Structure 1
Amino acid sequence: MNFQTKPADRKPRSYIVIDLESAVLDDVAHRRYQAMERWTPERGKPSRRGYQRGDDPLRTPRWVFQSIVTISAMVLVEHQDGGVGVSALESWSAAVFDERAMVQGLLDLFARHPEAEIVTWGGAMHDLSILRLAAMRLGLTLPKGWGWLAFGYSRDARHLDLQQVATGGFKMKPIHQAEVLAALNLPGKITAAPFAIAHLVYARNWKAVRDACECDVISTALLLAHWRQFHDGRTEVGLVVDRILRDVIERRPEAGYTPGLQQHRHMLYTEQQARAVDRMSALAPWLRDAA
């Protein structure tokens, strides 16, 4: 991502913030893998020396055998004042779509925004890898302008992974998104704890899975607002965060996370009022005395 060009000299940037949820729903492919390895289970013994049961790929299917059950994506477009606003918030859930239709829906969204930049939390190591493998398995084709997705992650890709940014290119110990959200006082994980998502998937509670997926997209968009402040300080980040929250609340009034977003927005407004009163007292103490 090149930020050397002055904001006045380039077109408004657009971003597609994505998140997906996946799970092992069909173990047929995993059994094919076991057959290739000529593996049969032996009670109490790992398949290879040094493996613990939980990370033994012959006993526990790894991510390559997961199916996508929900995809959520938010399109953000820069405003002339330096902020960003939500132009679309879309989700594809197993409640309505099969996996092919979910992935194709996201690819169609990419096609409508050929110059957009992808934003994820941990997507370099998870979401995009699962998306690429699913697209290959389903025989789907990337739209024009998105061929770079086929080559994995690189510094030249139109992809900002905020977990990679936060950890210095994964050189620091990996951290959870909730840790960064808490540090920056941003909302997240409102409807479900991360460890509960797998249980919701296997219970086929697709609405809860969709709410959790969209909530992660919203949180990642708010992290993006803070990251953009490094490069464009024309609009105070609190106003950008408030604009994103307002746009989402208007688009998803019935979502399970919306009351939490409303509460957080009210809290931010109350804090801004308190700071304004403090500044007024410092700059114009006679107003405080008059009151």
Structure 2
Amino acid sequence: MKTEMTPRAQRSWIVLDIESAVLDDVAHKRYQAMERWVPSDEKAIRRGYRRSEDPLTCPRWVFQTIATAAIMVLVEDAQGGVDVRRFITLSAPDHDERSVIAGILQALSEAPADAEIVTWMGLAHDLPLLINGALKHGLCLPPNWKWLAFGGYHRDRHIDLARAMTAGMKMKPIHLAEVLAAMDIPGKLTAPPFAITAMIYAGQWDEVQSACEVDVISTALLLARWRRLTDPRAEADAVEDRILRRAIELRAGRGYVPALEAHRKRQFEVQYTKAANDAARLAPWLKQDAA
């Protein structure tokens, strides 16, 4: 008897990166008032604390404002290839925090059904900030994404590549830049991570947007490698090249594009040389026939 194979479900991913900083200290001053804290030269920080550890003098993440977000929607085809369906940037000065968050939620609502969200360290940064911001501004999560309200953890719908690559943080956490360097994936092309907050405070929005977009591109390329672990249909190199090509097209004019083009050209040359060497080793008669 002939049995019919169940068609493979088409997967899609939403790669998200958020940049934030403490831009409004009104709420933090309310917290200081609740603690009856009055800053003075005599008690710059509480006894037993270092400044970076004292929430009364160093606002923690709940007081941060989302300033910029970049979103890339990826959809696979039947052969295992991946196409960039959308590449969205939402950022100050054109958007305030509420409209950035509303734009993210709109992108989620318009994504294919059962799309998976992809982040680097998203459970410890991007998704808590998104949930906190939506709560603060009275925004409602899209129907298919209400599970985000419970912390952003979902076994099937959220791929936090930082957790996936460290056994759920059982290994020591690592920086995205370390993984990108180890895998020879382009990343951090415009600024080091520690510089982003200063750029937000300085209002250097083109630079902040570029850094956020590069992180999304890098995370999408890392996803292509990670996906290959369980999906043999398409070589990761081919998927990476397609993502790079589309990112270059969609962000023509950005300062980081020449670096992406150079990386793409270098990878092509590596693949071309490898193919030529393989042909010479496995089919030496081809050269003889050509002669």
Percent sequence identity over aligned pairs: 54
The reply on whether 1:24 has 2:14 as its aligned counterpart is no
Corresponding residue number in structure 2 for 1:248: 247
SS at match of 2:18: strand
Contact 2:147/2:154 (<8 A) preserved: no
Corresponding residue number in structure 2 for 1:3: none
SS at match of 2:143: coil
CA deviations on 1:146-183 (whole Å, 9 max, x unpaired) are 11000014343511000001111011111000110011
The reply on whether 1:115 has 2:114 as its aligned counterpart is yes
Return closer, same or farther for 1:254/1:8 CA change in 2, 3 Å cut-off: farther
Displacement of 1:41: 2.6
Displacement of 1:286: 4.3
The reply on whether 1:212 has 2:200 as its aligned counterpart is no
Contact 1:73/1:89 (<8 A) preserved: yes
| Aligned 1:10-49 pairs, distance under 5 A | 10-43=8-41, 45=43, 47-49=45-47
Corresponding residue number in structure 2 for 1:4: none
Q: For 2:33 and 2:61, how far apart are their aligned partners in 1?
A: 18
Q: For 1:92 and 1:20, how far apart are their aligned partners in 2?
A: 10
Return closer, same or farther for 1:228/1:287 CA change in 2, 3 Å cut-off: same
Q: For 1:167 and 1:65, how far apart are their aligned partners in 2?
A: 28
Return closer, same or farther for 1:44/1:224 CA change in 2, 3 Å cut-off: farther
- Give unpaired runs (5+ residues) of structure 2: none
Q: Which amino acid aligns with 2:159?
A: L
Q: Which amino acid aligns with 1:100?
A: R
36-45 vs 136-145, which deviates more? 36-45
| Aligned 1:1-291 pairs, distance under 5 A | 9-43=7-41, 45=43, 47-113=45-111, 114-156=113-155, 158-287=157-286
Q: For 1:241 and 1:133, how far apart are their aligned partners in 2?
A: 33
Q: For 1:211 and 1:84, how far apart are their aligned partners in 2?
A: 23
- Give unpaired runs (5+ residues) of structure 1: 1-6
Q: Which amino acid aligns with 1:205?
A: Q
Displacement of 1:193: 1.1
Contact 1:148/1:157 (<8 A) preserved: no
CA deviations on 1:101-144 (whole Å, 9 max, x unpaired) are 11101111111124211000000110000111010101100111
38-47 vs 203-212, which deviates more? 38-47
Aligned pairs, number = 285
Displacement of 1:62: 0.9
Q: Which amino acid aligns with 2:157?
A: R
SS at match of 2:20: strand
Q: For 1:160 and 1:220, how far apart are their aligned partners in 2?
A: 11
SS at match of 1:186: coil
Q: Which amino acid aligns with 1:102?
A: V
SS at match of 1:179: helix
Contact 1:70/1:209 (<8 A) preserved: yes
Q: Which amino acid aligns with 2:107?
A: L
Contact 2:117/2:158 (<8 A) preserved: yes
Q: For 2:117 and 2:42, how far apart are their aligned partners in 1?
A: 44
Q: For 1:33 and 1:165, how far apart are their aligned partners in 2?
A: 36
Contact 2:70/2:216 (<8 A) preserved: yes
41-50 vs 215-224, which deviates more? 41-50
Contact 2:123/2:153 (<8 A) preserved: no
User: What TM-score results when the alignment is normalised by the length of structure 1?
Assistant: 0.93
Return closer, same or farther for 1:277/1:205 CA change in 2, 3 Å cut-off: same
Q: Which amino acid aligns with 1:34?
A: Q
Return closer, same or farther for 1:285/1:79 CA change in 2, 3 Å cut-off: same
Q: What is the CA RMSD across the aligned residues, in angstroms?
A: 1.7
User: What TM-score results when the alignment is normalised by the length of structure 2?
Assistant: 0.93
Runs of 4+ in 1 over 6 A off after TM superposition: none
Contact 2:189/2:256 (<8 A) preserved: yes
Displacement of 1:31: 0.6
Q: For 1:171 and 1:257, how far apart are their aligned partners in 2?
A: 34
132-141 vs 106-115, which deviates more? 106-115
Q: For 1:149 and 1:262, how far apart are their aligned partners in 2?
A: 36
